[in-house]
Structure 1
Amino acid sequence: MKTISQECIEESDTEKIIKNGDYSLILREGDEGFAVFLQNGKEIVGSQELPAWITVRGSDTLLTGEYIETDYKQPYHQVIRKKYGFCATSSVNTEKGSVFIVEDKYTLLKDGVFGIYRDVKVKEARAEDVGFASTISFQTGLRSSDNNDFEYFIPSVLYRNTSEVREDAVAADLNTDRMYVKETRTGLPLAMLREKITGTTLTLMHYNPRIDVGQNPGGGTFYEVNDALQYGSIGYSIYPSLSVDFHYPCAEGPRTYEVAGRKRDAKTIWSKRYHSVKEGNIHSYSVALIPDKKDNYNEAMMYAFGMGYKTEEPTIVDMNMDEIYRQNIELFKAEYRMFGKGNIKAAGLPWSLDLPDGTNTEGISFQMGFVGQQIAVGYHMYRYGLDHHDSETKEKGKSMVDFWVSDAIMKTYFPTVWWDPADNATAGQRREYPSFLRCFVDGMEGLLDAYRISVAHNEPQEAWNQALKRVASNLVKKQNEDGSFYRAYKTNGDVETGGDRNTHGTSKLNTPVAIRFLVKMFEHTGETKYKEAAIKAADFSYNELYLKLGKYVGGTPDNPNTVDKEAAIFALYGFNAIHELTGDMKYLKAAEHAANCAMSWTYCYDFAIPNRDAMDAKKNPFVKGGITGFSIIATGHSGADNFIAYMFYEMYKLYIKTGNELYLHMAKLLQNNTKLNTDFDGRMNYKYRAFMPEATNVADLAFRSVSLWLPWASIANIEPIVNLEEAFGKKDLSQIDMSLPELRSRLTIYGVGGKPLHR
């Protein structure tokens, strides 16, 4: 452990103190031993009165089949000064006679962050004590058990409170004694707790996690005792007073996504793991403790995540962006298809391709945006063909875009967004599916890009421009009085009131999706109706999501209208765009919040995912690690994908605007590490290097995936590369050598993405 400045350490007969800015971590001796207090001056903001907490599982079970657990808590019995801070030890004895030695090393990790390194050793073992776990827990100074007195943050799981979260989600109910979440369900394994009255905030994070399950795909089963299971859980104790906890090894409940041979009952099941009570056994881990005080939840959440990220400081890998771009274009060129025997030709890519061999088992259907991203694919092929004098690729891209502006798609008020192609006179038929705002805005942004590049190469495709302006104008006409838009429409322009459990057509919480597109349309046309509509939509989003909710909802049409990653990303798009349009700094602050929310869904630490069988070995790109940069999709499950790759260009813009180096590091991580799930280096022997798995669960420590490549995944990887090149002349952030003033000037010239391109 590193030596810290001795000026940060004070001690007296009864107190051992480590100072860090305004905060002091104090090991204070009482009648029974040492307790731990975190203070800001004389104000107690956190405490562990009995810090040595061991949970022991016996061999006996309850009628429910659950094993009987017993908690043992002790103060420290000795505290010794060290160069790194203080070493505190305690002896914990069980009723059966087992003895545990708890040794906690207190230190400083960085400015504003305390560190605790824990070792628990089994000194004496009794057969009746089978397994053990330990917990580090800090209660707040408020000493309240009313969960409504607090605001919460667990990345990828819980934002502010339980509103807009599915009822079966792991953190959907805080009316319980404890709530723990498996740490691998989080972008960063931390839990934040903020007192509403005082603004005092405590964040506890598993620092430098060394996650491993050995030869145990799935990470063990319910109540298993296994020393190879090296992962924990993060969460809260609610009773007798609210605290932030890290528990090791993992306990998840009272809701869990694990099945593990049992009938799932998300309201009652705890899934727990233990290490063995055998003499000499040791388990070790470290946590970061981050105190703070903020006037509001949004500031507290941003500080907690930012400090956690900087403390963990994930490693950025090297990656060749030119090669990544080329690999995806090659896939597009190879998988292009065309259908139709009449005037209309439906051209595009298959809905999906199987890993690893590229078989198309799910058939061929075309979706304008969202999953299918057919217009965006067409644009990128068209652009590549123009820029590289590749007429075949250019014509393939053009034919894809041409189809989406044809009468088959555009004859209704809002366009058809999903098409089932066939080799007949009509080239297929529309699929009965709502015109989700997300689907057609994705499509229209791709169409705008295609038109801009056609003009740049002096072959303007006016039919594309007319279709684009028609849809954009129709969207403005449907804006609600409060500035919002609905989540889904019928093709006749009416709001969609039917559909399945994912539709929620009348929700207004997806409004941020429209903002960037409207700003681009103002840049493109100069028509003030788009500027006015964008500002109204931004104000609705600012007030209803950023201020009132402190979270973002409903980014994905194929999930329920719940808190999710893509909603946060589109909020970043929107707030970034409206800030560039208006210069209003409130939008920049909202953009920073949305960026931190979105980033919090991203794995910022690494672990390996074992194969369950030989088939997994052909598909699993994470067997040696590489999770960093992969990202969880939504609350209510732990499926993950690569969508966060879209965001590196927008994150880079935040760095340019604010000068905050944190955003530059995040942008580089999103640029490079998001490619680790592809076959960029040929190690997987996929049919295409650009292949990657969609909808994959890594949180449960076994490779479970739909094992499909979908078109959007490639667009996510290359769209920000292209945006960066158009704006700054380079495909790779590491190649850009400009000062911040120069970068800001270039960004102003380029705009949000609606101004003319130049060749």
Structure 2
Amino acid sequence: MFGKASLVVFCLLGMAAQAAPPMELGRVDGGPAVAFVRNGPGDWGLRIDGTPRIAQARPARVEILHNGQVPQSLAAGYKTLRRTPDGVVAEADLKEHGRALFHIRDVWTMHGDVVTVSRQVQVMADGQGGFASSIAFDVERSVAWNDVKFLAPGILYADPTFDGPRSPGGTLNFAAHRLVVREDMLPAPLFAMAFAGGWSVSILDPSPRGDTTMADTTLSAPILTDARFQFGSLGAKQVEDGPVQFGFDFPGNVGLFGPPLPDKPMMSAPSPVRRYHPIARGVDHHYQVAFRIAHDGSFPQMSRNAWRWAWQTLKPPVTPIDVAQVRTVLLDHLQANSATIGGRTGIPFVLSTVTDKLQWNWTMIGMGFVSKNLECADQLLREGDRDPSERGQKMRATGLAIIKSMIEALPTVPLQGTGYDLATGKVWDHVWLSPYLRNATEDMRVLMQAYAREKALNRDHPEWLAWVKNYSDWLIQQQRADGSFPRRWERGSNAVAEASGTASYAPVPLLVLMTAITKDPKYQDAALKAGEFVWSNWGQRGLFVGGASDNPNITDKEAGMLSLEAYLSLYDATHDAKWLERAKAAGDFAESWIWIWNLPMPVDANNADLHWKKGVPTVGLQGITALSAGGADEYLDWAVPSYAKLYRLTGDTHYRDVARVLLHDTKSMVALPGRLYDMKGPGWQQEHWSMGPGWHGRGVGGHRFWLPWVSANHLHGITVLEETDPALFKEFSEGK
């Protein structure tokens, strides 16, 4: 909406500057002035004299849609300005057919580099249809669309290439010069733009509410009018040859590219999804928007600073858990759901959280990514060391059996796959268990950590080392001259199935560890080359790609999480400060996927039909991939020890705050005694949910299944933090 009826902004404000002195709101520290500029008598606009210049001649803006008609834009300059001790109160009336229809009262304040406006719209006459208002600015025309680098956390990090075509931040929307996102799809209601020369503007809803209805969130109709809508949309667009425009709409209006249809070509333009408030006296239409104007330098620095500004503003609350109880429940649940068939033991690939009906693929036993059988085994071994009772020793026996079964099922290199059928012992012929680089190296790293721990306790497992060493020796022969590794191979072959090197961070921690164990430098040398490849191609741009094995070459948080681990392992091995700086960059990227505000479930939803229940905080959830914008899970809770380590190495207390959120807030939907929700017992949690519109509707996931990674990641955040930083673990466990 804010992009309609492009105005002759700079001409108007340029003439106004000669006619009357501006009323200055304030100045950015060491930077531009923010001022109200007179267009004419009783007609004030707003201008920011930065690099580039940003302005809006008619800040009071409303879009109306009468029943069955084309949307109409009403816009005006402020009629009156009044200084207060805190800022400026600006007011305007918007008329239709000569009668005043809306009264707009904006309160503008400025503190440091942040300009905030609080808007109240009063409907002065009842009418048919609906309305939405916007606060928007135009960028000077010398700035072209491709000159700007855009940030929408969890959706777009400057380059849309890896976001998928139909994503809100993907290539189709970028090509259409429209990047407008509903705030309920965002981990923080934040959008930012970086300009040449280092200046940036970030937009934030500092007091988001997010209320919606089932009709809206399931996209039941392209146009809906409802006073209960309390969400906005924010972003940027460019209409034809007009200026780049950015701002905030309330309620949120967006354009979405629908799924492809067999008999129709790809959509050439996004389909509008419009949401309005009724044109009725007494309707509640108020909101705030904050604009951060800063000189950040590079895009990664802008991204980091804008995200931290959002974090400091929204102050994500921590909802403490009983850490000891959660650990016990999850471990007992893992043990109870391990299965043994024909002397083979594993953790089923998928189990229902609500029924005892078994799925067709429950006997798939896999490594890494979403199956993590060896990591689950390691957690059971750890508990065996903690608990000398029959309970703990039973867990130890199960852990050893899981490892033995995996090695026996996949004895040869090149691997025939990364998983097998528990019922038959044969390699499972499914793409999820193909020889993926990540799947194998992720679980083998955990196995080598367990090997070193066991050996220190005088328990030697030479067959573990031989198996992993055989694979690692083969792996470094697959490394290409540029340092990259293929994502996937054909079964039992050196033939490459997926050539892309996007996941080349995945084997780095394993290879570093193999040098530590064997004292052979060749593994670490390969790790260093892979780390340089990832950094030079993506990391230095503040972008990480390809973490999810089943979503090749897509921007996602797991790519950032795994890169963080890779760079921390290289720093530990070399003590070269550049790897710590790169770890910080990967950590900054990965944390920007964390939900740092509480999004309410649809007001008219039946709680029994929701998978994420009403009243349960959403802080701590994370977006999954840019391709599935609005989808969320808890995968990043695995990285609790990683952020704790960043805190210890850098002294930056923000990383401590991130670790604390990931330890506590990510357990909100784990079924615990006395808090089962609708799950069948303690320890269950389904894999994912939708928070944005359209995926499955807010609060509903694509299925009700548990996968082993859910418990493995929860437990890793607890047990490895306790092992690596017992003091911080004690503080967090005590709620500090």
TM-score by length of 1: 0.86
In structure 1, what residue type is equivalent to 2:313? T
In structure 2, what residue type is equivalent to 1:718? L
Question: Do the aligned partners of 1:651 and 1:663 also contact (CA within 8 Å) in 2?
Answer: yes
Gap change, CA 1:334 and 1:530, over 3 Å in 2: same
Gap change, CA 1:639 and 1:83, over 3 Å in 2: same
Q: Structure 1 residue 44: deviation in Å? A: 5.8
Q: Structure 1 residue 326: deviation in Å? A: 1.0
Higher mean displacement: 434-443 or 352-361: 352-361
1:752 is matched with which residue?
A: none
Q: Structure 1 residue 19: deviation in Å? A: 3.8
Higher mean displacement: 229-238 or 167-176: 167-176
List alignment gaps of at least 5 residues for structure 1: 1-11, 62-67, 498-504, 738-759
Question: Do the aligned partners of 1:122 and 1:278 also contact (CA within 8 Å) in 2?
Answer: yes
2:9 is matched with which residue?
A: none
1:366 is matched with which residue?
A: 365
Once residues 611 and 226 of structure 1 are traced to their aligned partners in structure 2, the CA distance between those partners, rounded to angstroms, is: 12
1:146 is matched with which residue?
A: 144
2:496 is matched with which residue?
A: 496
1:577 is matched with which residue?
A: 569
Higher mean displacement: 222-231 or 351-360: 351-360
Q: Structure 1 residue 349: deviation in Å? A: 1.6
2:462 is matched with which residue?
A: 462
Question: Do the aligned partners of 2:187 and 2:622 also contact (CA within 8 Å) in 1?
Answer: yes
1:439 is matched with which residue?
A: 439
Q: Structure 1 residue 562: deviation in Å? A: 1.1
User: Match for 1:714 among 695, 711, 724?
Assistant: 711
- 2:404 is the alignment partner of 1:402: yes
Question: Do the aligned partners of 2:162 and 2:555 also contact (CA within 8 Å) in 1?
Answer: yes
Gap change, CA 1:579 and 1:645, over 3 Å in 2: same
**Residues 217-616 of structure 1 correspond to what in structure 2 (within 5 A)?**
218=217, 221-239=221-239, 240-255=242-257, 267-340=269-342, 345-362=343-360, 363-389=362-388, 390-406=392-408, 408-414=409-415, 416-422=417-423, 427-433=425-431, 434-497=434-497, 505-547=498-540, 549-610=541-602
**Residues 61-210 of structure 1 correspond to what in structure 2 (within 5 A)?**
61=69, 68-95=70-97, 97=99, 99-108=101-110, 111-127=112-128, 130-140=129-139, 142-144=140-142, 146-172=144-170, 173-176=173-176, 178-196=178-196, 198-210=197-209
Gap change, CA 1:153 and 1:358, over 3 Å in 2: farther
Gap change, CA 1:50 and 1:479, over 3 Å in 2: same
In structure 1, what residue type is equivalent to 2:637? A
* 3-state SS of paired residue (1:332): helix
Once residues 18 and 125 of structure 1 are traced to their aligned partners in structure 2, the CA distance between those partners, rounded to angstroms, is: 38
* 3-state SS of paired residue (1:587): helix
1:27 is matched with which residue?
A: 36
Gap change, CA 1:695 and 1:214, over 3 Å in 2: closer
In structure 1, what residue type is equivalent to 2:417? T
Gap change, CA 1:86 and 1:334, over 3 Å in 2: same
Q: Structure 1 residue 493: deviation in Å? A: 4.5
Once residues 385 and 634 of structure 1 are traced to their aligned partners in structure 2, the CA distance between those partners, rounded to angstroms, is: 36
Once residues 691 and 217 of structure 1 are traced to their aligned partners in structure 2, the CA distance between those partners, rounded to angstroms, is: 30
**Alignment deviations for residues 36-56 of structure 1 (CA, whole Å, 9 cap, x no partner):** 22345xx56432222111111
Once residues 578 and 57 of structure 2 are traced to their aligned partners in structure 1, the CA distance between those partners, rounded to angstroms, is: 42
Question: Do the aligned partners of 1:253 and 1:269 also contact (CA within 8 Å) in 2?
Answer: yes
Once residues 158 and 381 of structure 2 are traced to their aligned partners in structure 1, the CA distance between those partners, rounded to angstroms, is: 44
Once residues 328 and 266 of structure 2 are traced to their aligned partners in structure 1, the CA distance between those partners, rounded to angstroms, is: 45
Question: Do the aligned partners of 2:152 and 2:191 also contact (CA within 8 Å) in 1?
Answer: yes
Gap change, CA 1:587 and 1:496, over 3 Å in 2: same
Question: Do the aligned partners of 1:383 and 1:453 also contact (CA within 8 Å) in 2?
Answer: no
Question: Do the aligned partners of 1:486 and 1:507 also contact (CA within 8 Å) in 2?
Answer: yes
Question: Do the aligned partners of 2:612 and 2:699 also contact (CA within 8 Å) in 1?
Answer: no
Q: Structure 1 residue 111: deviation in Å? A: 4.3
**Alignment deviations for residues 314-348 of structure 1 (CA, whole Å, 9 cap, x no partner):** 111111221211111010111111112xxxx3211
Q: Structure 1 residue 77: deviation in Å? A: 1.4
**Alignment deviations for residues 564-605 of structure 1 (CA, whole Å, 9 cap, x no partner):** 111111111112222232333333232222222211222111
Q: Structure 1 residue 30: deviation in Å? A: 3.2
TM-score by length of 2: 0.89
**Alignment deviations for residues 275-298 of structure 1 (CA, whole Å, 9 cap, x no partner):** 011123231111121111233211
Question: Do the aligned partners of 1:619 and 1:684 also contact (CA within 8 Å) in 2?
Answer: no
Q: Structure 1 residue 556: deviation in Å? A: 0.8
Question: Do the aligned partners of 1:202 and 1:244 also contact (CA within 8 Å) in 2?
Answer: no
Gap change, CA 1:177 and 1:354, over 3 Å in 2: same
In structure 1, what residue type is equivalent to 2:204? M
Question: Do the aligned partners of 2:676 and 2:682 also contact (CA within 8 Å) in 1?
Answer: no
1:8 is matched with which residue?
A: none
2:15 is matched with which residue?
A: none
2:7 is matched with which residue?
A: none
Gap change, CA 1:588 and 1:35, over 3 Å in 2: farther
Once residues 264 and 230 of structure 1 are traced to their aligned partners in structure 2, the CA distance between those partners, rounded to angstroms, is: 32
**Residues 567-716 of structure 1 correspond to what in structure 2 (within 5 A)?**
567-610=559-602, 617=608, 620-637=611-628, 638-680=630-672, 682-700=675-693, 701-705=697-701, 706-716=703-713
User: Match for 1:56 among 51, 64, 86?
Assistant: 64
**Alignment deviations for residues 391-429 of structure 1 (CA, whole Å, 9 cap, x no partner):** 2111111100111222x302232363021121x5xx344
Gap change, CA 1:188 and 1:643, over 3 Å in 2: same
In structure 2, what residue type is equivalent to 1:123? M
Q: Structure 1 residue 107: deviation in Å? A: 2.0
In structure 2, what residue type is equivalent to 1:678? V
Once residues 456 and 463 of structure 2 are traced to their aligned partners in structure 1, the CA distance between those partners, rounded to angstroms, is: 16
In structure 2, what residue type is equivalent to 1:620? H
Question: Do the aligned partners of 2:231 and 2:252 also contact (CA within 8 Å) in 1?
Answer: yes
In structure 2, what residue type is equivalent to 1:571? S
Once residues 207 and 550 of structure 2 are traced to their aligned partners in structure 1, the CA distance between those partners, rounded to angstroms, is: 35
In structure 2, what residue type is equivalent to 1:510? A
Q: Structure 1 residue 13: deviation in Å? A: 6.6
**Alignment deviations for residues 39-89 of structure 1 (CA, whole Å, 9 cap, x no partner):** 45xx5643222211111112124xxxxxx1111221111121223322111
* 3-state SS of paired residue (2:134): strand
Question: Do the aligned partners of 1:256 and 1:266 also contact (CA within 8 Å) in 2?
Answer: no
**Alignment deviations for residues 366-411 of structure 1 (CA, whole Å, 9 cap, x no partner):** 11111111111111112211321222111111100111222x3022
Once residues 55 and 654 of structure 1 are traced to their aligned partners in structure 2, the CA distance between those partners, rounded to angstroms, is: 47
List alignment gaps of at least 5 residues for structure 2: 1-19
**Alignment deviations for residues 511-536 of structure 1 (CA, whole Å, 9 cap, x no partner):** 11122222222233322112211111
Once residues 586 and 265 of structure 2 are traced to their aligned partners in structure 1, the CA distance between those partners, rounded to angstroms, is: 37
Question: Do the aligned partners of 2:367 and 2:419 also contact (CA within 8 Å) in 1?
Answer: yes
Once residues 575 and 455 of structure 2 are traced to their aligned partners in structure 1, the CA distance between those partners, rounded to angstroms, is: 29
Gap change, CA 1:448 and 1:195, over 3 Å in 2: same
Q: Structure 1 residue 677: deviation in Å? A: 2.2
2:8 is matched with which residue?
A: none
Question: Do the aligned partners of 1:107 and 1:115 also contact (CA within 8 Å) in 2?
Answer: yes
Once residues 31 and 417 of structure 1 are traced to their aligned partners in structure 2, the CA distance between those partners, rounded to angstroms, is: 71
